[in-house]
Amino acid sequence: MRVFAVVGALIGKREGRNIEVMNSFELLFHTVEDQIHIDKEYYYIKEEQFKQVFKDMEFLGWYTTGGAPDQSDIHIHKQVCEIIESPLFLKLNPMTKHTDLPVSVYESVIDIISGEVSVCVCVCV
């Protein structure tokens, strides 16, 4: 678990491969044995509120802060995959020393290996 974890939902529009993130909101979560567990009831309440105001937007994925994706991110990503099929994953690194925008966006890739479904997170180009 991260000491100062931030986890949130990305809201926007998707048209084919064109995606426009237009808004976001923080997701509530709790930790069990150093693993983050998203409060899905809170998510569904917020989603309904957003749909009432922004009828043409949808849940696109989630965001967090930190360096390169790690096992904790994969754990959260699998939970988000239970809400939508192929979520985006945006990671903001506020500690980077680079002058580029410190944001990486990843997309889900679903593989079936020996009958087992495996979700991995790959860099979105």
Q: What is the mean pLDDT of each run of 10 residues along the chain (125 residues)?
A: 78 92 94 93 94 92 91 91 90 80 82 66 55
The domain containing residue 50 runs over which residues?
Answer: 7-124
Number of domains into which the chain is organized? 1
The Cα 90–Cα 88 span in angstroms is: 7
CATH code at position 107: 3.40.140.10
The answer to whether position 1 is within a domain reads no
Q: Which residues contact 6 (CB under 8 A, 6 or more apart)?
A: 26, 63, 64, 65
pTM of the entire predicted model: 0.84
> Which spans in the chain are helix H?
40-53, 71-81
Can you give the pLDDT at residue 125? 42
